[in-house]
Structures are given as structure tokens and as C-alpha cells.
Chains A and B, each alone.
Chain A
């Protein structure tokens, strides 16, 4: 088990190296010039050249990569080209917010999706089942940004309510923080819930048909035990896979939702820096997102073996 985890963690090295190469060189191929973006149309050629020189953009690309990479290996992700802020602390600061948003929407989606999915699976082809299926289909099909914009407008127009502006951390002011996070969590949670609900339902259906369930029922076990201790637990593997993927994606920043709700998360950071061609920030953020994604997937793999002892890693 430990050996497996260590092996997986070691695999991070080639993955991150690959990501760093791809992102670094792609950024230098795409059109756009950070100096011109920063200085705008007023700048003289001299000012532009000076700024490019300050950022080291006048040196050979390979040399730029080596300079950057050796910094990263020492834990120094460099400074933002536009704001001059250090990149790594900025990323971690933003990640806190994205992390909170992800966890809140995930919890929200589980609370709704798993029980409803189980019920729909048990009461297959009844009215309840159909209702749940329609609701989940809606959850999956309504685009995030549409739901978000409609929610904002309806709340503002009918209840004169809009979430407080200006993000505050959870530990500074929990109530205000939750007020700010509630709407975006609902929006993201709804979309996540739809997929999880559908997966729970089909997974439960499949498990309930299996021999071991019949055996357990034949032993006279209570239905509640059959469902929660045996069926659901076995049905969790595919559900977990989907949840893992969803969380991985969300942790990479939910660009649109963060933008609509003015949350200063990782997604906003990436978007702003791409628009400004702030290379150091984009590179750092993408590397970080890849790191988190791999880690979340590893976590899911380990959870598999917890839920299904037959799965072992050597």
C-alpha cells in the first residue's frame, strides 16, 4: 500500500514535467504580448523593449524555461508580470476559495443526490423514480452560467437580494462567508448532483440484481441493512469515480461561476492572467492545477480499496 502510494507520487514527476513543458512552450507560441497588454497603445517601442527585457522575454526560450524551472524546483514560482506579486502565495490564496467552493458544492450535491438516487433505484419505474430522473436530467443539462445568471436576476428582482460583495474568508466571518458562497455552491452543486444521482440510481439497480443481495435478503437481513450496508457500499465505486472527476475539475477553478459571483478563486486568476498574457502566473497556476488533479485521483483510487476490500494495490 505505502509502496503503491509512493510509486504514484513519484509518477507526479513526469506528469508535472510534461505539463510544464507543454504549457511553457504553448504560451510562447500563441499570439499576444504581455508588454503590449500592460502598457497599452501609449507605449513607445523603447518602453516595450525594456519591459520585455525586464521579464527575460528577450532571451532564448530554452534559457527562459531552465530559469523558470530551476526556480520552481526551489519552490520559487516567480513574480506576476503585471502585478509583481509572488505567484505561489497568490495561487494558494486563490485555491483556498476554490477549495471551499468545491467542498461545499460537493457536500450539497451528495446530500441531494445519493439519497434520491438510492430511492429511485429501489422504486424503479414508479412515479418517484421518474421524478428523480427528470430532476437529475435537468441538473445535468442546465448550463451553470445560465442557472447562475437566472438565480441572480430572480433574487435581485423579486426579493431585492444579492449576495454581499467582497469576499471574506470563512474563519474571519463565517456567516458572511457562507452568504457569499451559498449561491455559487447551489449552482455548482445542482450540476454535480444531476450526474451523481443518475450514477447512483443505475449502480444501485445493478447491485440489487446480484446474487449476494439475494443471499443477504434470504438470510432475513432487514431491508435497510441490505440497502445501506451492502448495496450502497458496493454501488459506491462508480459513484466515487464520477465524484473524483468532478472534484478534480472543480478544484482546477470554476472559471465562469467564480466570474459571475465575483469570487477571487483559482479560475479567476487563470482567466485574468491568460487575458493579460501573464506567463509566470499561468504557468504556475496550470502546474498547480495538474498537481491537485493527480492527487485527487490518487485519493479516489485509495478510497476504492477501502470500499471494496477485494481491490488491493501492490
Chain B
């Protein structure tokens, strides 16, 4: 008899322990959960102006100064504003700053709009601008964009609405760097209250941050006091974390979400659906083959040139990207006049005979063995590696493919621990980023060990040359030099795809901003 009782009691205790975890926690976030319920109901009643977006990754945090992850940027860029922004033609236009002028080449004075409020009601003044940039530049913040503003010497508050940036030298990239979503103006009070801004977001943007439920969704609501009259048109935006492409695909098909990004293959699958518009745009990204230029045999430019000649970029476009990509140099073609026409370049001609001749000159007449490292996380990178393996075989280069997981890949990239690495770069919104930052001897993303004094002085000059025409000539020269020396092989720049339901009106993706939703409404 005791045994059975004993059993029941112990069973209850154990169940109790197991459940304690859930229930105690359940109480903690009960109030939260009720709110969620209410929000969802609200959303259901007012379908028209709620935009549901499928986010392919969980946001990594919401602090604009500390989080470069795309899943975070697409959210906080709606909550914060910067001093200036890009219009649809990638021209710098006012945002929080009404206007600006340059007393001399290395000084910028910005005049702020008056009466703009943070979402908590505090007014935006020159002090906030000074604080935001000092926060970015403060080493303790460990900001990913500190390098963009490293030549800011001091920031002076001239008046309540006037702020002056003193640069150490003229910088042609300064304004376009300011358009970066991470160069956001934040409220000192909020930072001090919360330690950082990873879990809260109080900005001046078109939408206010409401709630973030981990691995589930982020809710933004309309900022009624947004400083641009008539914007935004939506009442609410919800980002659902949906990591699985098939789930995003079925959700956009059935209308559970209104907008999602897609791969080329999936875009093809739903391009015939009546209620869905698939919009494509040329991205600012390009795929590349990175070489460790200090390891044999890749330390010989002739070997790298031979590999470039052996690479059939058109085949990569056709097979890896379904034909929807364009051959690219170090500056993606969507950068317009900044990028040079690479297709006529000698090393882009896929000339096997010449490649073999170059290899022979370099002393590798019989080819060599090499390992191509790629991230298993991205199909396009794996496919690219496989194609290159076949193509290089033709000149006797026998490649082995090594697939590694993303965390290890990042490590491999930053330590240059692979001889040949497949990757994708964002070429930024200014050629300086694509050229200086990835390939200058001291460039913070020059992990390849590439160094060339002629190239260095070209991009240094480009950065301080304010005259556009002159600057373009310098960068053309730099790009050609880079192609000749081939520290990386630049491959192709893919299209990007966004699928939207036909109830979404006025949505236009741009290369520099694939998710501009201030003008969007629903019908």
C-alpha cells in the first residue's frame, strides 16, 4: 500500500519540478502575453494597414550602433533616422538635417529640423547628434561602424539645431557614410536608462518600436508625429521570424504574410501566382573568390590571373543564379557610373590557352592542388565552388572543396586561414568601401594580405578628392589595377527578389534599400 502511495507522491513531485519551470515563467510574462493577444486581435480587425513581413533570421539585437545583421537593420532602419539619407537615385538628401554646408573641405555644418521628437517625446537637438556620433566613436561601444567615421576629429554643438563635424582631412565618403542605417541618432537618456539599445528602440523614424517576442516577431507601430507629413501610411508592421524558405513560401502564397525575400529558385516557383508580385532588383552585392596572397602558389599574380582566365563567369550566372546575375568587378554594376565595364577586361575572357601559358610562366605547367573553402550555409557559395572546381580542372588545377559552417567560416575569413575562400561582399554605397576597405594595405576588411603601394595611394587619393569627375577617374584606375593584380576574383552580382501580395501598394525595392516601406499602404 505504501509503495503505491509513495509512487504517486514522488510522481507528483517530479512532475511538479518539471512543470515548475514552465508555469513560474508563464506567470512572469503573462501580462506580456495578454498584450500580444490584444495586438493580434487589433491586427485582425484592421487588416488594411498592417504589413506582415517574413524575416528570414531572428534579429540579433536592435542597437543601431552595435548590430550590422540584416535581420536587425531592416527593423531598426524604420525606427531611427540619420542626418541624411539616399533618395531613389542614390543621391544624398536631407533627413533629420534640413540642410548642410561646408565652410571648407573638411568641415560640415548640419542644420537640424526643429521640433522633431524622439518616440518618447524628447526633442532632437544638436546635443543628441553629438552624443550619437561620440557613442559610435567611443571604443567602449565596440561599434561596427566606428571605422566609417574614424577621421571625425571633433563634433561641436554650434546652436540648439546646428552641429559641426571637423574632419582630419577632406573626405568624399563622409555624406554617403552618414546615410548608413547604423549612423542613427539616438537619445542619450534611453541609452543611459537601458545600458544599451539592444532590447529597446526609441528613435525618430516613421515607425515606433512596440514589442519583440524572441524568435517569434517584432511589432512596430506608426509614428503619428513623424516629421515628414503624410508618412508612413501603414498603421503597423510586424516582422515574423521564419527561417525556413518553404515556410515563407507557403505563408506568402496563402496570405499569412504580405512580403518576403526569396531566392532565385523560389522566385521562379511563385512567379505565376496571381495574387503575388515578384519584384527583383540588382543588388549591391557581388560574389568573389578570395586568395591568401601570401601563400604559395597564390602569391604569384600570374597564377591568380590564370585562375581568372580559367573562370567562366557566364556559366556561374547561368547555373548558380538561374541567369539572373551580371558579371561584376570590385564595384557592383548597380553602383552605376562608379563601376567599370569589366566584361571587356582581358582577364574576364575565359581564355584557357592563355591561362595555361601564364601558369607555365609561373612555373606550374602541370597545375597544382588546392582547397576551395566555402560556407555550407549558402547554396550559392557551394554551387559556385563546385563550378570553379570543374572550370579550373581544365588548366590542371585540381581543387578540393571544403564546406564549413557559418561561425567557422567567419573565423576562417578573419584569420585568412583558407587559401581560397568563396564569399559575397556588399560593395557599399560608395566606391571607397568596395576599394579602400577591402583592399587597401590597412583596410579593416583586407584579410587577404594584399598590399600594393600604387593601389594604396590611388584609393587614398580617391577618398580625399571631392571633385566627382576626378574621383571617378581615380577609381577607374584603381579598379583596373585591382583586376590586373587579382587579389580576389570578382565574379557576379546577383539579382535580389522580394515577393509581395497584390494587396500591397507602392512598394519599390532599391539596390541600396530593398525594403523602403514609408510610402507603402494596403488595399
Q: Which residues of A contact B (CB under 8 A)?
A: 1-2, 5, 30-33, 35-48, 50-51, 54, 82-85, 89-90, 92-96, 99, 149, 152-153, 155-157, 160-169, 171-173, 176, 259-262, 264, 268-269, 272, 274-277, 292, 295-296, 298-299, 302-303, 305-306, 309, 312
Contacts and interface: CB of A to CB of B under 8 A. Distances in A.
B253 A302 contact: no
B215 A272 contact: yes
A172 B21 CA distance: 18
Given A42-B444, A160-B254, 20 more contacts: A33-B410, A33-B414, A38-B61, A39-B68, A39-B144, A40-B68, A41-B425, A83-B61, A85-B214, A92-B22, A164-B256, A165-B54, A165-B256, A169-B33, A171-B26, A172-B37, A259-B243, A274-B407, A302-B10, A309-B3
B244 A295 contact: no
A152 B250 contact: yes
Contacts of B28: 89
Interface stretch (B11-19, B123-131, B494-502): B11-19
B362 interface: no
Nearest to A51: B142
Nearest to A272: B58
Contact of A277 (B21, B247, B407, B414): B407
Given A36-B414, A162-B253, A164-B256, A94 B215 contact: yes
B143 interface: yes
Interface in B312-341: none
Nearest to B447: A41
B408 A32 contact: yes
Contacts of A51: 142
B242 interface: yes
B215 A47 contact: no
A165 B199 contact: no
Nearest to B2: A1
A38 B24 CA distance: 32
A303 B11 CA distance: 8
Nearest to A37: B410
Given A1-B6, A40-B69, A47-B146, A152 B21 contact: no
9 contacts: A38-B69, A44-B146, A90-B214, A92-B25, A155-B250, A166-B216, A166-B217, A173-B40, A298-B14
A42 B60 contact: no
Contact of A84 (B198, B412, B413, B425): B198
Given A161-B254, A268-B215, A47 B144 contact: yes
- By DSSP majority rule, is chain B's interface helix, strand, loop, or mixed? helix
Nearest to A156: B250
A305 B444 contact: no
B210 interface: no
B36 interface: yes
B52 interface: yes
Contacts of A84: 61, 195-196, 198-199
A165 B7 contact: no
B244 A262 contact: yes
B445 interface: yes
A35 B414 CA distance: 11
Contact of B22 (A99, A295, A303): A99
A45 B444 contact: yes
B17 to A, nearest CB: 7
A162 B10 contact: no
B3 A30 contact: no
Q: How would you classify the secondary structure of chain A's contact residues: helix, strand, loop or mixed?
A: helix
Contacts of A37: 406-407, 410
B45 interface: no
Contact of B142 (A48, A96, A298): A48
Contacts of B407: 30-33, 37, 274-277
Given A82-B60, A166-B216, A275-B406, A306 B25 contact: no
Contacts of A272: 58, 215
B145 interface: yes
Contacts of B271: none
A169 B410 CA distance: 36
B450 interface: no
B262 interface: no
Contacts of A172: 33-34, 36-37
Nearest to A167: B216
Most buried by A among B40, B254, B412: B254
A41 B69 CA distance: 11
Contacts of B444: 42-45
Nearest to B147: A44
B192 interface: no
A62 to B, nearest CB: 23
Nearest to A96: B22
B368 to A, nearest CB: 26
Contacts of A42: 68, 144-145, 147-148, 444-445
A32 B215 contact: no
Contacts of B144: 39-40, 42-43, 47
Contacts of B215: 94, 264, 268-269, 272
In the A-B complex, the 4 residue pairs with the smallest Cβ-Cβ separation, listed nearest first, are A32-B407, A264-B215, A156-B250, A92-B25
Nearest to B38: A172
A213 to B, nearest CB: 24
Contacts of A298: 14
A84 B142 CA distance: 14
Interface string B30-67: 00011011001000000000001010001011000011
B247 A261 contact: yes
Contacts of A173: 37, 40
Contacts of A262: 240-244, 247
A108 to B, nearest CB: 20
A302 B6 CA distance: 10
A15 to B, nearest CB: 15
B251 interface: yes
B218 to A, nearest CB: 10
Contacts of B33: 168-169, 171-172
B145 A306 contact: no
A99 B21 CA distance: 10
Interface in B427-468: 444-445
Nearest to A47: B142
Nearest to B215: A264
Given A92-B21, A93-B29, A94-B215, A276 B14 contact: no
Which of A47, A269, A274, A295 lies at the interface centre, i.e. has the most chain B CB atoms within 10 A of its CB? A47
Contact of B246 (A33, A38, A99, A260): A260
Most B CB within 10 A of own CB, among A41, A168, A302, A309: A41
Interface string B241-267: 111101101110110110000000000
A78 to B, nearest CB: 15
Nearest to B69: A40
Interface in B90-138: none
A161 B414 CA distance: 44
B213 A264 contact: yes
B503 to A, nearest CB: 15
B152 to A, nearest CB: 14
B10 A2 contact: yes
A83 B407 CA distance: 17
Interface centre among A157, A264, A292 (most CB of B within 10 A): A264
B410 A32 contact: yes
B6 to A, nearest CB: 4
B139 interface: yes
Contact of A162 (B140, B250, B412): B250
